[in-house]
Amino acid sequence: MKKQAKFAVGISVIVVSLACLAWLGYGESKTYYHTIAELQSLRGAELSHRMRVGGTVAAGSIRRFTGRVDFVLEGEGKSLPVSYVGSDPLPDTFVDKSQALVEGRPTDGRFVAEVVQAKCASKYEAAPGGTVATSSTATR
Amino acid sequence: MDVFGSFALILAFVCAVYAFGGGIAAIITRHPLLVKSTRQAGIATCCLIFIATFSLEYLFFSDNFSAAYVVAHSNRALATFYKVAALWAGQEGSLLFWSFLLSIYVFSVLVAYRNKNGELMPYVGVILAGVQIFFLTLNNFVASPFKALAVPGANGAMDLVARADGNGLTPLLQYPEMVIHPPNLYSGYTGFTIPFAFALAALLARYPGEKWIHLTRKWTMIAWCFQTAGILLGAHWAYAVLGWGGYWGWDPVENASLLPWLTGTAFLHSVMMQEKRGMMKVWNVWLVFSTFILCILGTFLTRSGVVSSVHAFAQSSIGSWFVGFLMVIFTVCLVAYLKNRDYLKSENQLDAIVSRESSFLFNNLILLVSCIAVLSGTLFPVLSEAVAGSKINVGAPFFNKVNIPIGLFLLFLTGVGPLLAWRKTSVESLKRNFAGPLIIGLVAGAVLFALGCREIYSLICFSLCFFVTATIFMEFYRGAKVIRVRSHASYLTSAIELTMRNTRRYGGYIVHMGMVLVFIGLAGAAFNQNVQKEMQPGSSMQLGKYKLVLQSFDSKPEANYTGLRLNVEVFVNNKPLMMLYPERRIFETNGETGTMVAIYSTLREDLYVVYAGQSPDTKLPVIHAYLNPLVKWIWFGGVIVVFGTLVALLPNRRAVLVLSGAKQPAPEPLVHGMTPSVTYREGRD
């Protein structure tokens, strides 16, 4: 039975150490997802979590400044002013009415985003129009 | 043509149903007419799918804008090159493309084995037909690529229309790699259906263990080769086109392609255990089942939108179909396993921890752990929402923290495994085989440390790469030396002869060498640098040893886009090196923009320059430049991996011992103990 024990020990060491690393990695990168409506009802510690919020970019709301891009995200009837402060350029698909996913933290009534992902505005519909639904791009 | 195509598809569905139902009847009754007709129905299914696919392509080539799918993904101005690729640009067409590639495999298997393996093939045929029925159901009833374009008419009914021109292909997809990445990746995904079908068939038929493994080895290697190529091409595409400076983001769709690769790699190695020692049978069966299930899961993740991804197709209800199919497959596999468990009993036990068996066991374990980690991380939003009510995402830090140590351990096993003996390795053997490579690895690590490298994972990685390279070279050297004794040829010729006599083993070593190169490339990422700056003509930026000067910028109209190009001159030590032309393209049809990265790639590093956009206040171009060391090694390594797999697929050349000179008296038979042909066998194989 001794060799069985050796294998068991070896396997456990590997699995346990990887589990520890996984736990650490999880802690470093976990990001909550909330809708705009949910944001307003968050309290206390939850507000300081890194989170993702999705919505549609309100038409005409994109304003570009040096080091910052402001826009308004709309969803389920609510709107959220966002400031993108990341260093990477915004993706090519980030235009009026595109679906966007922002990642960052809510601060003083605005949402400060470090990452912005945007999907192409139109969805594929079989019958009228027949426009394209495709890939989206993201800043990293 | 679209009516023709959709008719072919529905006929294919009917044939597949017959191949499935009749096939089951054939297994039960063993009536030769049933066996033959169901096999032919299976072949017919494939041919009809080919016809349907060609019909859809014809619609693209003939600019038929009365078909909704063509309107959505093509236009008159689109290059022919991309009209071919537009077939797989959207949901419906890519599902048909999946059926098409699967049919190539099914056709080949049914035809190649039509007169062989009579006990097994009826089962295989039924399983393959079952998979095809699922995809044909989607092709015909859920996501038909042949839908005609129609708009609601005056009286509420739908009126057929034909557009003058289509919407064109999405700019991001108008890149040569678009034409080769999906076919390679899909060929990998669909290819794993074949070993799955054989494994399940063998289990159900209780077919002699190793025969099915031997049969499916080549198919598994082909599928694995395509999957590897597909993954690397996807990474290269992301690197060269998206402009974020990286090649792997642990995006759900990227992970979806990696998961079956992990279990597929484990399976490819683990089968050797079953072949040589009759062990790991349960592992192997579940590894191949998992690989297939992960392929279907992969396409489910990509298409259903259940996890948000940059690659997501349109949100649709197609996800539920895949979930249903996955449940059916899993149930069938589980029932088959439970009923036939005793057939999978091991013939031998693990003898010692320092043995080739144990290295395979650890190989399986580590790849499986990686697979579980990546799967959990990818599905975390879904799991956390179900369990805790809030959607939580995990990102690159999680995946990297777990997978980097796993990758390093795998690298270690790659060097050690082939040199361990079956059953138990003696200490002398360990010393003889590993002393040299170990010293080389440690010296390499020490040298790099002395040169200033302080990243611990990179140091370990480079040391291991040297270690593994040394073990591989040692294997070739030793084998070539023995052949040289007889043939007196050069080392190189002997090494080639050696490889050709045992293509599986030495082709495998070539694949390992390729993976080592890939790891060297991956290790470079720890040293990436980047700089972003707003530039006007004449200004410069410094990155590493390169100075970039913006000379001018211009705008160039092309067939279906306008190119905004920057002319950047690169200097090294104040001497002009070359010009780079990072570009942004604005596409006419839908106003979208695309980024064309300018890359100067050397073995040492990539200088990667992106036209990031225009500064909002000054309207001046913003350039984002990256210095990515060693990236070229990844692509080069990938080529070696593919080459190695092709070598391993070749049949062995049998060595012939040539009797020299002396004339043999005519009728005398060969002396009893002398074999006229010799295959080179080493005790360790």
Give the DSSP per-residue string, B34-56. HHHHHHHHHHHHHHHHHHHHHHH
The residue of chain A with its CA nearest to that of B380 is: A30
Q: Identify which has the larger pLDDT, B617 or B506.
A: B506
**Number of CB pairs < 8 Å for A and B?**
164
Considering only CB atoms, which chain A residues are within 8 Å of B368?
none
Model confidence over B407-431: pLDDT tens digits?
A: 999 999 999 888 887 877 787 888 8
Considering only CB atoms, which chain A residues are within 8 Å of B394?
25-26, 29-31
Q: How far apart are CA B453 and CA B462, in angstroms?
A: 10
Q: Do the strands B561-572 and B583-587 form a parallel or antiparallel pair, or are they unpaired?
A: antiparallel
Q: Which residues of chain B from 10 to 49 reach within 8 Å of chain A, CB to CB?
A: none
pLDDT of residue B45: 96
Tell me which residue range forms the domain holding A22.
1-30
A62 phi/psi in degrees, rounded to 5: -75, 120
- Identify whether residues A122 and A54 lie together within a single domain: yes
Six token digits for residue B3? 């009516």
For B443, the enclosing helix (H) or strand (E) is helix B427-450
With beta carbons less than 8 A apart as the criterion, state whether A135 and B310 touch.
yes
pLDDT of residue B202: 93
Considering only CB atoms, B402 lies closest to which of A18, A131, A140, namely: A18
Average pLDDT over residues B306-321: 68
- Identify whether residues A22 and A58 lie together within a single domain: no
B303 touches chain A (CB under 8 A): no
Q: Within 10 A of B121 (CB to CB), how many other CB atoms are there?
A: 23
With beta carbons less than 8 A apart as the criterion, state whether A47 and A75 touch.
no
**Residue-wise burial string across B465-497, b where 16 or more C-beta atoms lie within 10 A, e elsewhere:** bbbbbbbbbbbbeebbeebbeeeeeeeeebbbb
> What are the boundaries of each domain within chain B?
1-148+158-166, 175-423, 424-522, 527-633
Q: How far away is chain B from the Cα of A30, in angstroms, using its nearest Cα?
A: 5
Which has the closest alpha carbon to B259: B373, B393, B382? B373
Considering only CB atoms, B167 lies closest to which of A10, A66, A132, namely: A132
Q: B365 vs A11: CB contact, 8 Å cut-off? A: yes
Average pLDDT over residues B444-470: 91
Q: How far away is chain A from the Cα of B617, in angstroms, using its nearest Cα?
A: 7
Six token digits for residue B604? 């040492």
Q: Is the pLDDT of residue A79 over 80?
A: yes
B68 touches chain A (CB under 8 A): yes
Q: How far away is chain A from the Cα of B262, in angstroms, using its nearest Cα?
A: 17
Model confidence over A36-48: pLDDT tens digits?
A: 888 877 766 777 7
> What 3-state class would DSSP assign to B640?
helix
The residue of chain A with its CA nearest to that of B246 is: A140
Q: Which residue has the tokens 């440690």?
A: B442
B310 touches chain A (CB under 8 A): yes
The residue of chain A with its CA nearest to that of B612 is: A89
The length of chain A is: 140
Q: A66 vs B172: CB contact, 8 Å cut-off? A: no
Q: Identify which has the larger pLDDT, A46 or B216.
A: B216
pLDDT of residue B22: 94
Q: B314 vs A140: CB contact, 8 Å cut-off? A: no
Considering only CB atoms, B393 lies closest to which of A33, A95, A132, namely: A33
Q: A33 vs B391: CB contact, 8 Å cut-off? A: yes
Q: How far apart are CA A130 and CA B67, in angstroms?
A: 10
With beta carbons less than 8 A apart as the criterion, state whether B474 and B489 touch.
no
B432 phi/psi in degrees, rounded to 5: -65, -45
Considering only CB atoms, B249 lies closest to which of A29, A93, A140, namely: A140
Q: Is the pLDDT of residue B678 over 60?
A: no
With beta carbons less than 8 A apart as the criterion, state whether B483 and B499 touch.
no
Q: How far apart are CA B484 and CA B490, in angstroms?
A: 7
Q: How far apart are CA A65 and CA B617, in angstroms?
A: 7
CATH class in words for B527-633: mainly beta
Confidence of residue A127 (pLDDT cuts 50, 70, 90): very low
Q: How far away is chain A from the Cα of B234, in angstroms, using its nearest Cα?
A: 14
Q: Which residue has the tokens 């580590």?
A: B366
Q: Is the pLDDT of residue A129 over 70?
A: no
- Which residues 6+ apart lie within 8 Å of B54 measured at CB? none
CA-CA distances (angstroms) from residue B30 to B126, B129, B206, B291, B554?
A: 14, 18, 16, 31, 73
Confidence of residue B657 (pLDDT cuts 50, 70, 90): low
- Identify whether residues A70 and A46 lie together within a single domain: yes
Which has the closest alpha carbon to B560: B68, B62, B83? B83
- Identify whether residues A50 and A114 lie together within a single domain: yes
Confidence of residue B639 (pLDDT cuts 50, 70, 90): very high
DSSP state, residue B173: G
Q: How far away is chain B from the Cα of A94, in angstroms, using its nearest Cα?
A: 10
pLDDT of residue B229: 96
Six token digits for residue B99? 């059926």
Which has the closest alpha carbon to B608: B230, B247, B177? B247
pLDDT of residue B316: 66
CA dihedral over B558, B563, B568, B570, signed as positive or negative: negative
pTM listed for this prediction: 0.88
Considering only CB atoms, which chain B residues are within 8 Å of A66?
615-617
A9 touches chain B (CB under 8 A): no
Q: Is the pLDDT of residue B671 over 60?
A: no
With beta carbons less than 8 A apart as the criterion, state whether B515 and B641 touch.
yes
Q: How far apart are CA B420 and CA B361, in angstroms?
A: 13
Distance of CA B352 to the CA centre of its chain: 34
Average pLDDT over residues B23-30: 93
Q: Is the pLDDT of residue B681 over 70?
A: no
Which has the closest alpha carbon to B566: B617, B613, B600? B613
Percent of chain B with pLDDT over 70: 93
Look up residue B675 and give its amino acid.
T
Considering only CB atoms, A52 lies closest to which of B242, B393, B399, namely: B393
With beta carbons less than 8 A apart as the criterion, state whether B143 and B95 touch.
yes
Which has the closest alpha carbon to B135: B268, B228, B17, B291? B17
pLDDT of residue B287: 95
B401 touches chain A (CB under 8 A): yes
Six token digits for residue B339? 């009923």
Q: Is the pLDDT of residue B406 over 60?
A: yes
> What 3-state class would DSSP assign to B391?
strand
Asked if ipTM goes beyond 0.85, one says no
- Identify whether residues A15 and A62 lie together within a single domain: no
- Identify whether residues A69 and A128 lie together within a single domain: yes
Which has the closest alpha carbon to B56: B109, B26, B97? B97
DSSP, residue by residue, B549-560? EEEEEEEEE-SS
B286 phi/psi in degrees, rounded to 5: -75, -30
Q: Which of B394, B617, B618 to mutate to test the interface with A (most CBs of A within 10 A)?
A: B394
Of A64-68, B244-248, B589-593, the range with the highest mean pLDDT is: B244-248
Considering only CB atoms, A25 lies closest to which of B401, B590, B612, namely: B401
A83 touches chain B (CB under 8 A): no
For B462, the enclosing helix (H) or strand (E) is helix B456-487
Q: CATH no. for residue A46?
A: 2.40.50.140
Residue B426's Cβ-count burial label (10 Å; 0-12, 13-18, 19+) is exposed
Six token digits for residue B272? 């050797």
Model confidence over B521-540: pLDDT tens digits?
A: 999 988 888 888 888 888 88
**How many Å from the N-terminal Cα to the C-terminal Cα in chain B?**
56
**For residue B72, how many C-alpha atoms fall within 13 Å in the half-sphere facing its CB?**
30
Considering only CB atoms, which chain B residues are within 8 Å of A131?
72, 167
Six token digits for residue A113? 């985003």
Six token digits for residue A62? 């994109």
Q: Which of A21, A66, A134 to mutate to test the interface with B (most CBs of B within 10 A)?
A: A134
Considering only CB atoms, which chain A residues are within 8 Å of B71?
130
Q: B91 vs A54: CB contact, 8 Å cut-off? A: no
Q: How far away is chain A from the Cα of B585, in angstroms, using its nearest Cα?
A: 10
Confidence of residue B673 (pLDDT cuts 50, 70, 90): very low
Q: Which residues pair with B151 in a beta bridge?
A: B159
Q: How far apart are CA A94 and CA B316, in angstroms?
A: 22
Six token digits for residue B53? 């696919």
- Identify whether residues A69 and A13 lie together within a single domain: no
Look up residue B73 and give its amino acid.
H
Average pLDDT over residues A57-86: 85
Among A121-130, B144-153, B285-294, B674-683, name the one with the lowest average pLDDT. A121-130
Considering only CB atoms, B592 lies closest to which of A26, A92, A128, namely: A92
Q: How far apart are CA B419 and CA B425, in angstroms?
A: 9
Q: What is the CA radius of gyration of chain A?
A: 21
Model confidence over B93-127: pLDDT tens digits?
A: 999 999 999 999 999 999 999 888 888 999 999 99
Confidence of residue B616 (pLDDT cuts 50, 70, 90): low
- Identify whether residues A110 and A100 lie together within a single domain: yes
With beta carbons less than 8 A apart as the criterion, state whether B635 and B588 touch.
no
pLDDT of residue B672: 46
- Identify whether residues A25 and A44 lie together within a single domain: no
Q: Identify which has the larger pLDDT, B159 or B358.
A: B358
Q: Which of A135, A136, A139, A140 to mutate to test the interface with B (most CBs of B within 10 A)?
A: A135
A21 touches chain B (CB under 8 A): yes
Q: How far away is chain A from the Cα of B406, in angstroms, using its nearest Cα?
A: 8
Considering only CB atoms, which chain B residues are within 8 Å of A87?
532
Q: Is the pLDDT of residue B209 over 80?
A: no
- Which residues 6+ apart lie within 8 Å of A27 measured at CB? none
The residue of chain B with its CA nearest to that of A130 is: B72
Helix, strand, coil abundance in chain B, percent, nearest 5: 60, 10, 25
Q: Is the pLDDT of residue B26 over 90?
A: yes
Percent of chain B with pLDDT over 90: 50
Residue B340's Cβ-count burial label (10 Å; 0-12, 13-18, 19+) is middle
Average pLDDT over residues B67-75: 88
Q: B308 vs A6: CB contact, 8 Å cut-off? A: no
Q: B170 vs A21: CB contact, 8 Å cut-off? A: no
Q: A117 vs B393: CB contact, 8 Å cut-off? A: no
A78 touches chain B (CB under 8 A): no
Q: How many domains would you assign to chain A? A: 2
Six token digits for residue A72? 């308004």
Q: Which residues of chain A from 95 to 114 reach within 8 Å of chain B, CB to CB?
A: 95, 101
Considering only CB atoms, which chain A residues are within 8 Å of B311?
135
Q: How far away is chain A from the Cα of B357, in angstroms, using its nearest Cα?
A: 12
Q: How far away is chain B from the Cα of A101, in angstroms, using its nearest Cα?
A: 9
Q: A117 vs B310: CB contact, 8 Å cut-off? A: yes
- Identify whether residues A45 and A89 lie together within a single domain: yes
